[in-house]
């Protein structure tokens, strides 16, 4: 980048340096100055590269997007202001009134709301089906179905979608397959390798990993589709802030290490919970008692995820006693932080459902989802031993 010119209002230019910073510089500038109109032409016509206005792109967003592209095996993905803005840019950048989109029936809460309320309001028809069952998904297709949106591992019951079956179905029927890879991450699973057309992330979660930024990522394999997603995001201002991108890049530097540690803790925690009296059931995709274990092993190989769900005996009273006694663990509805966090779907993500609907989905008042963090294993398991005992005492 050229730094040689100062200006009247900022007369001191950046110092010349023959050495380079090791860390990506933070570039909060919203506007970029050019030398001549000819230079601007060259830039807009793609003969040179450069920036003009941060809503359209800035170095920190590009550096972060290229890093995630590398992990996912994509090219030209964009970073957006949140995971939901990435979902929105994909759907609204690629779909039009009259199209139909089919979603997995256990999508992230706000993705579900977008499907159920907002897209239909704009003339885009939507429906939901079980993504672990390709025949059920196929039966829900319509002649005007243009896209399927699924998550690999669902929230909070950790069911594993049949991505390979869905990819073949989509290929055969000319339908776009969009995969939200937030829970699994490219460390465990790369949807493009399985034939997905679009990969989406809430970078807020494991990729950034420190609960201090809200960001998303969207990448289409087809550059024409990617351009449509980019244009929609720029037009509607879904742009990410440079500082958030800079922080996320810092988080990403340790992503593989964090994932491996959290996953190892999750395996240990799932097995530990299964031994504790007062725990009715444990859900972890790689365990033998999980309904999708075979598919989890086929898709995720040796890897699992950092999410474990379980059900306490004893309902709300036990749940209150559990979070009160879970000293050192945040009872907070997020995931992918460095620390272990607990979420209680009945009072948060799934509170809008009637109790009977929640029960049907297997989420009772005693149901918790754990996003396992990077703590030392022994003290982490100990907190759960104590908190489950406290819950049992209260039940
Ligand atoms: C959190 C999450 C989102 C939304 O991401 P935000 O960054 O909170 O907007 C989308 N999908 C999944 C699977 C998520 O966990």
Which sequence spans correspond to the domains of the chain? 57-252, 255-394
Return the H-helix or E-strand segment holding 368: strand 367-371
Does residue 180 carry a catalytic annotation?
A: yes
Centroid of ligand 1 to alpha carbon of 214 (angstroms):
9
> pLDDT tens, position by position, for the chain (395 residues)?
455 678 899 888 888 889 999 999 999 999 999 999 999 999 999 999 999 999 999 999 999 999 999 999 999 999 999 999 999 999 999 999 999 999 999 999 899 999 999 999 999 999 999 999 999 999 999 999 999 999 999 999 999 999 999 999 999 999 999 999 999 999 999 999 999 999 999 999 999 999 999 999 999 999 999 999 999 999 999 999 999 999 999 999 999 999 999 999 999 999 999 999 999 999 999 999 999 999 999 999 888 899 999 999 999 999 999 999 999 999 998 899 999 999 999 999 888 888 898 888 889 999 999 999 999 999 999 999 999 999 999 98
Using the Cα atoms of residue 87, residue 88, residue 92 and residue 98 in order, give the sign of their dihedral: positive
Nearest to 216 by CA among 105, 314, 87: 87
Identify the CATH class of 255-394: alpha beta
Quote the pLDDT of residue 3. 55
> What is the distance of C-alpha 264 from the center of its chain?
20
Cα angle: 187, vertex 188, 190; to 5 degrees: 85
How many other CB atoms are there within 10 angstroms of residue 279's CB atom? 20
Q: How confident is the model at residue 70, as a pLDDT? A: 98
Tell me if 216 CB under 6 Å of ligand 1: yes
N- to C-terminal Cα distance for the chain?
64
Quote the ligand 1 centre to 113 CA distance (angstroms). 12
Catalytic site residue 16? no
Calpha distance 319→367 (Å, rounded): 8
Rounded Cα–Cα distance for residues 320 and 316 (Å): 6
Record the pTM.
0.96
- Position 376 scores a pLDDT of 98
- Taking residue 294's Cβ as centre, other Cβ atoms within 10 Å add up to 11
Q: Which residue out of 99, 180, 244, 292 is catalytically annotated?
A: 180
| C-beta of residue 248 within 8 angstroms of C-beta of residue 203 | yes
Under 8 Å between Cβ of 175 and 42 = no
Contacts (Cβ under 8 Å, ≥6 apart) of 45: none
Say yes or no: CB of residue 108 within 6 Å of ligand 1: yes
Note if 130 is an active site residue: no
Q: 217 CB less than 6 Å from ligand 1?
A: no
- The Cα 312–Cα 366 span in angstroms is 5
Per the rule left: phi > 0, alpha: psi between -120 and 50, beta: everything else, 272 is alpha
Q: Is 129 helix (H, G, I), strand (E, B) or coil?
A: strand
Read off the tokens for 127: 């429906």
Query: What pLDDT sits at residue 359?
Result: 87
- Give the pair of three-digit tokens for residue 395: 């039940």
Ligand 1 neighbour 84 (Cβ under 6 A):
yes
How many of the other CB atoms lie within 10 Å of CB of 49?
A: 8
- The verdict on whether 108 is a catalytic residue reads yes
353: burial class by Cβ within 10 Å (0-12, 13-18, 19+)? middle
* Contact predicate 131/105, CB 8 Å: yes
| Predicted pLDDT at 13 | 85
| H-type alpha helices, 157-292 | 163-173, 185-188, 223-235, 242-252, 255-273
- Measure the CA–CA gap between 131 and 107, rounded to whole angstroms: 10
If one looks up domain 57-252 in CATH, what number appears? 3.40.640.10
The pLDDT, as a whole number, for residue 4 is: 66
Which residue of 80, 84, 155, 198 sits with most ligand 1 atoms within 8 Å of its CB, as the best mutation to test the pocket?
84
Tokens of 311: 């059900």
Residue nearest to atom 7 of ligand 1 (CA): 83
C-beta separation of 373 from 340 below 8 A: yes
């Amino acid at each position: 980048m050229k730094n040689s010119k100062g200006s009247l209002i900022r007369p001191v230019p950046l110092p010349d340096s023959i050495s380079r910073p090791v860390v990506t510089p933070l570039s909060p500038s919203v506007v970029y100055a050019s030398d001549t109109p000819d230079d601007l032409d060259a830039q807009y016509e793609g003969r040179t590269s450069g920036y003009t206005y941060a809503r359209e792109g800035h170095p920190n967003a590009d550096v972060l997007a290229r890093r995630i592209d590398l992990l996912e095996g994509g090219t030209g993905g964009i970073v957006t202001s949140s995971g939901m803005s990435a979902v929105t840019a994909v759907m609204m950048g690629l779909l039009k009134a009259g199209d139909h989109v089919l979603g997995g029936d256990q999508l992230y809460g706000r993705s579900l709301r977008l499907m159920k309320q907002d897209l239909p309001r704009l003339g885009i028809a939507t429906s939901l089906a079980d993504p672990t069952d390709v025949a059920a998904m196929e039966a829900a297709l319509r002649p005007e179905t243009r896209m399927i949106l699924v998550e690999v591992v669902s929230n909070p019951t950790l069911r594993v979608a049949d991505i390979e079956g869905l990819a073949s179905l989509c290929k055969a029927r000319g339908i776009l397959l969009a995969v939200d890879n937030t829970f699994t991450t490219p460390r465990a699973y790369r949807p493009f390798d399985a034939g997905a057309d679009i990969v989406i992330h809430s970078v807020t979660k494991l990729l950034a990993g420190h609960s201090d930024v809200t960001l998303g990522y969207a990448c289409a394999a087809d550059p024409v589709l990617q351009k449509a997603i980019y244009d929609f995001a720029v037009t509607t201002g879904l742009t990410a802030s440079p500082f958030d991108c800079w922080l996320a890049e810092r988080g990403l530097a340790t992503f593989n290490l964090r994932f491996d540690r959290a996953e190892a803790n999750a395996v240990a925690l799932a097995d530990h919970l299964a031994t504790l009296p007062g725990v009715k059931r444990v859900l972890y995709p790689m365990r033998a008692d999980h309904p999708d274990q075979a598919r989890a092993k086929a898709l995720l190989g040796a890897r699992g995820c950092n999410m474990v769900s379980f059900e306490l005996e004893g309902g709300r009273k036990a749940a209150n006693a559990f979070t009160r006694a879970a000293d050192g663990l945040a009872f907070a509805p997020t995931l992918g932080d460095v620390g272990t966090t607990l979420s209680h779907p009945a009072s948060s993500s799934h509170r809008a459902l009637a109790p009977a609907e929640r029960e049907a989905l297997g989420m009772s008042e005693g149901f918790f989802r754990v996003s396992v963090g990077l703590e030392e294993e022994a003290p982490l398991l100990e907190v759960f031993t104590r908190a489950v005992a406290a819950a049992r005492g209260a039940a």
